[in-house]
Amino acid sequence: MRALKRYDRRGFTLVELMIVVAIIGVLAALAIFGVRRYLASAKTSEAKNTVGAIARGAVSAYERETSASEIVAPGDVSAAASHELCNSAAAVPATVPQGTKYQPDPAADFSLGDSTAGWPCLKFSMSQPVYYQYHYLRDANNAHAALTGAPAVGAAGFEASAIGDIDGDATAFSGFARAGTLNNRELILATQIFVLNEFE
């Protein structure tokens, strides 16, 4: 009679199991880092898009011809139409949100101003909750210390900016700004949005 050969039934060794657990741990750490980075990028995209929209509003306001309301005598001519930048707008919200969202008040926040100043002049408003404090300043720049290093505007231009504290630590802020300046009555925008401490 022929003897049957018995095959060894072998399991995983402790070393093999430890290697698998280590690989899973590394992959989990990378996944957590990637998700955090993705969530932070989603928050900063709000600031970049909004700063861009404010800058476009400033350009549109400048390109509109404005003329003073006047009564012209018979045989006389009116004053020439002009192009003007909107005057500065109040910061919205009044303080930088710290890791939270702020729900704008449509009756108070983006309605402050008139046809020559503030948010109504820019024809800009927001109704959705925001992570950042938004600024529009004419003939000035660096609305906040977080914008140190942003391109200088000078005496004939504007700066649209966003200041945030998405990690809520209240020690460092993130800043986003886009500036424009007048050169021979032509409004020239910065080539891109200035970013400082993007994920703070």
pLDDT in tens, 121-143: 999 999 999 999 999 999 877 77
pLDDT value of residue 52: 93
Phi, psi of 84 (to 5 degrees): -135, 145
**Position of tokens 């020439």?**
80
Q: Could you list the beta-strand ranges (E) of the chain.
A: 89-92, 132-138, 157-164, 174-183, 186-189, 194-196
pLDDT value of residue 93: 93
**Distance between CA atoms of 67 and 6, rounded to whole angstroms?**
101
- Per-residue model confidence as pLDDT tens digits over 12-28: 888 888 999 999 999 88
- Per-residue model confidence as pLDDT tens digits over 40-50: 778 889 999 99
Q: How confident is the model at residue 186 (pLDDT cuts 50, 70, 90)?
A: confident
- Per-residue pLDDT for 68 more than 80? no
Of the candidates 117, 133, 126, 138, the residue with the CA atom closest to the CA atom of residue 175: 133
- Per-residue pLDDT for 6 more than 70? no
Of the candidates 111, 131, 106, the residue with the CA atom closest to the CA atom of residue 121: 111
- Per-residue model confidence as pLDDT tens digits over 100-125: 999 999 888 988 888 889 999 999 99
pLDDT value of residue 197: 86
pLDDT value of residue 161: 93
Tokens at residue 45, please?
Answer: 């995209």
The one-letter amino acid code at 54 reads I
Q: How confident is the model at residue 160 (pLDDT cuts 50, 70, 90)?
A: very high
